[in-house]
Structure 1
Amino acid sequence: MPFRPIEAEKRSDAAARQIELLILRGILRPGERLPAEREMAETMQISRPSVREAVAQLQDAGLLAARPGAGIFVAEVMGHGFSPALRHLFRRHPEAVFDYLDFRRDLEGQAAERAAAEGSETDLKVIATLLARMEEAHASARPEDEARLDAEFHMAIVEAGHNVILLHMMRSMFDLLREGVFYNRAVIFAREATRDSLLAQHRSINAAIQRRDAAAARQAAVAHLEYVRAALEADFAARSHEDIARLRLEQETQRSQPRG
């Protein structure tokens, strides 16, 4: 017969599996601190030694990391998905910026579609809440907060699709963006007119998701990333033109100087 005896699971193994699932599903995020050992033991209704053993298992697996005097944290595993050499290469070549945006356009269009079709009512409330916070930051002229909330809004859409592979892939992409590997988000949020357009685009994405129009959600997400791409292309072109104009001015200044 194909049946085998069922073995009782150790409490520490069950605790480790529960923490693993929280990391896998993006509920515990890279860099996030775990509760104190006592609190976890009380919440999971197991002994502190069992919690300690579970944490040790996950540290050995590279999913948790101890910081002396600070506690236990979810390891920054996704931040190392790209080697330092590759991140440096991305920074040096603008074409990587546009390939990055094309990649995001394709995957975030899919993510918005999935969120509209498969997101729970709570998922949709999270997305709407983040949009409301973006609107508040926009009204208060806080572009740095607005830029941060922009990333959180997009990640909430990805999370609403409940695809853990897409979730961790996109989180890795946003980590690189947060580090300034591809471009400085402040460039996008520097102009008030651009910020107005971005907020309107985010409203369109949210509206489509809230009414569960999957096709419109995909279309709105794609249009948003295409706008960001065009804005960056214009900024790159303007800087290039300014550099050329400065060279011309320097040359004309030298020509106008009397020669001895």
Structure 2
Amino acid sequence: MQLELPMFQKINLTKAKDVVVEQIEDLIVTGTLQPNQRLPSERNLAEMMKISRPTLREALTELEASGLLVADEAGGKKVANLVVSDFSPALLTLLATKESALRDYYSFRMELDSVIARQAAQNATDVDHARIRDALSELERLERHRSNLEQETAADTHFHMVLVEATHNVMTIQVMRSVYKLLENGIFVSRSIYLDSDKKSKVLSQHQSIAQSILAGDSDAAEQAARAHMSYVLDEVNNGLVERHRSNIAARRTQQFK
């Protein structure tokens, strides 16, 4: 007598197209593929993934329909700009000029950067280690040579974003990308305050300590180094704000007695 076993269902083999879609989705959500990054040509991508071009074309069409990919100017595909910052230029200016907002920003950074450094020390790969070394080397190069504030800000921001990506934490990466302009703006403000070479050297030394701890895989030391760095920056910003306040008062007095 043959038993009927309804719990056994027909097995549907996964379509190659679905595997391609899932792989590209994973690359986007983990930050491996970044907003506005171009994909390889259809021919090259099909060869890399060992699939037919019609299958790849079907997958790319689905990803484009879902809003994850968009057509680029050259006729290929690129990752859509999925991360939108809510920080308008006017708001960024306001945050850079209001003392209470600046202090809140650096206090926020102190907590966040500590977590980022710890996660990076725990999760960074060999590729991440190489990127961290490269980013640190650029900071060291700018320290040795006379550089302008914009160059220093760009290199400093890049260094911190490399650490963010080394966490391999999807939420950390996406959140930090969404506030990238805020990060860049904050670094510009702090670097405009500590302009003398002694303070710049201290900041470089702090960056080196953070990087070395992450490269060594020492999460406790990395967290402590990041916290010490942001504590120093916060102190310097506070000192700079006090000096700016005094200068403003002096200027008003001068105007008053003219």
Output the CA distance in 2 between the equivalents of 1:4 and 1:188: 68
Distance 1:190 1:106, change over 3 A: same
Distance 1:245 1:25, change over 3 A: same
- Match of residue 159, structure 2, among 153, 156, 180: 153
Alignment of 1:23-42 (within 5 A): 23-42=28-47
- For the pair 1:167 / 2:173, whether they are aligned, the reply is yes
Q: CA deviation at 1:173?
A: 2.5
Q: CA deviation at 1:251?
A: 1.9
- Paired residue for 2:26? 21
Output the CA distance in 2 between the equivalents of 1:233 and 1:60: 49
- Paired residue for 1:103? 108
Letter in 2 for 1:79: V
Output the CA distance in 1 between the equivalents of 2:196 and 2:53: 53
| TM-score, normalising length: structure 1 | 0.81
Output the CA distance in 2 between the equivalents of 1:221 and 1:230: 14
- Paired residue for 2:245? 240
Alignment of 1:1-260 (within 5 A): 4-69=9-74, 71-80=76-85, 82=86, 84=88, 88-89=90-91, 91-93=93-95, 94=98, 95-143=100-148, 144-178=150-184, 180=185, 184=189, 187=192, 190-253=195-258
**Identity over the aligned pairs, expressed in percent?**
35
User: Which string of whole-angstrom CA distances, capped at 9 and with x for unpartnered residues, describes residues 180-201 of structure 1?
Assistant: 3886465256433332111010
Distance 1:30 1:185, change over 3 A: farther
Q: CA deviation at 1:104?
A: 2.2
Q: CA deviation at 1:46?
A: 2.5
Three-state SS of the structure 1 residue aligned to 2:84 is helix
Distance 1:15 1:245, change over 3 A: same
Letter in 2 for 1:115: A
CA RMSD of aligned residues (A): 2.7
Structure 1, unpaired ranges of 5+: 254-260
- Paired residue for 1:256? none
Contact 1:201-1:220 within 8 A present in 2 as well: yes
Contact 2:124-2:167 within 8 A present in 1 as well: yes
Distance 1:223 1:70, change over 3 A: farther
Output the CA distance in 1 between the equivalents of 2:11 and 2:225: 50
Contact 1:188-1:195 within 8 A present in 2 as well: no
Distance 1:151 1:252, change over 3 A: same
Letter in 1 for 2:83: M
Contact 2:114-2:224 within 8 A present in 1 as well: yes
Three-state SS of the structure 2 residue aligned to 1:73 is strand
- Paired residue for 2:3? none
User: Which string of whole-angstrom CA distances, capped at 9 and with x for unpartnered residues, describes residues 138-160 of structure 1?
Assistant: 21222433322222222222222
Q: CA deviation at 1:202?
A: 0.4
Q: CA deviation at 1:220?
A: 0.6
User: Which string of whole-angstrom CA distances, capped at 9 and with x for unpartnered residues, describes residues 8-35 of structure 1?
Assistant: 3333322222211111221111222222
| TM-score, normalising length: structure 2 | 0.82
Distance 1:130 1:83, change over 3 A: closer
Q: CA deviation at 1:203?
A: 0.9
Contact 1:130-1:153 within 8 A present in 2 as well: yes
